Chain A
Amino acid sequence: DVKVTQSSRYLVKRTGEKVFLECVQDMDHENMFWYRQDPGLGLRLIYFSYDVKMKEKGDIPEGYSVSREKKERFSLILESASTNQTSMYLCASSFTGGLNYEQYFGPGTRLTVT
């Protein structure tokens, strides 16, 4: 059974702080994704990675960066948190190949920036 874990379920940070959100998957998936989920807006892709040390911008990368030093771990970094980054952050992973694009999601991190 695929498992995607995220380091925190709830996080409260102050404006201007540097924030790290960690995601780990245990299925040896090549692809990993970071989304933010906001009411009425659905899921929006921030960044994704299809291999170690590789990263690609998604639809809303501004204000975020990512790091993938190991295959199983994908980190989202808020260099200087702002109140408009208060949101639910979801990590996902998927397997490359076979046209099976199913993504497996973690439980999410609800981040509040005050």
Chain B
Amino acid sequence: AQSVSQHNHHVILSEAASLELGCNYSYGGTVNLFWYVQYPGQHLQLLLKYFSGDPLVKGIKGFEAEFIKSKFSFNLRKPSVQWSDTAEYFCAVTPPNYGGSQGNLIFGKGTKLSVKP
């Protein structure tokens, strides 16, 4: 079945460690890609998005993601995490010929990041 996969359910890091969260999707063709973040007790908010152009996308709070079409991947990275990055991270895809004009998103199951001070 076509899907969005996030490989890590829970990642635990110490402050200043580097972060990479994996996201793979199984749709062919042109896709739109998103990373959303949900801080404890807060609503889901957009971290970054990719539609076209430069496959390296920079988002808020020092996050970036790289779209690698040949690998069907859109991994999220941050060189040095902080305690305040503790949150749940969701990858989402608008697959071709599915979103239509409504732009339905298919979400991964999420990765919880815990950063130890």
Contact = CB atoms under 8 A, between A and B. Distances in A.
A107 interface: yes
A92 B103 CA distance: 12
B34 A102 contact: yes
Given A40-B9, A45-B104, A101-B94, A90 B44 contact: yes
Interface residues of A, number: 28
Interface stretch (B11-19, B60-68, B69-77, B105-113): B105-113
Interface string B32-48: 10101000001111100
A50 to B, nearest CB: 5
B110 A31 contact: no
A42 B46 contact: no
B25 interface: no
Given A41-B109, A42-B110, A43-B90, A103 B43 contact: no
Contacts of A48: 102, 104
A106 B6 CA distance: 23
Interface string A60-96: 0000000000000000000000000000001010101
Interface of B: 6, 9, 32, 34, 36, 42-46, 49, 51, 90, 94, 99, 101-105, 107-110
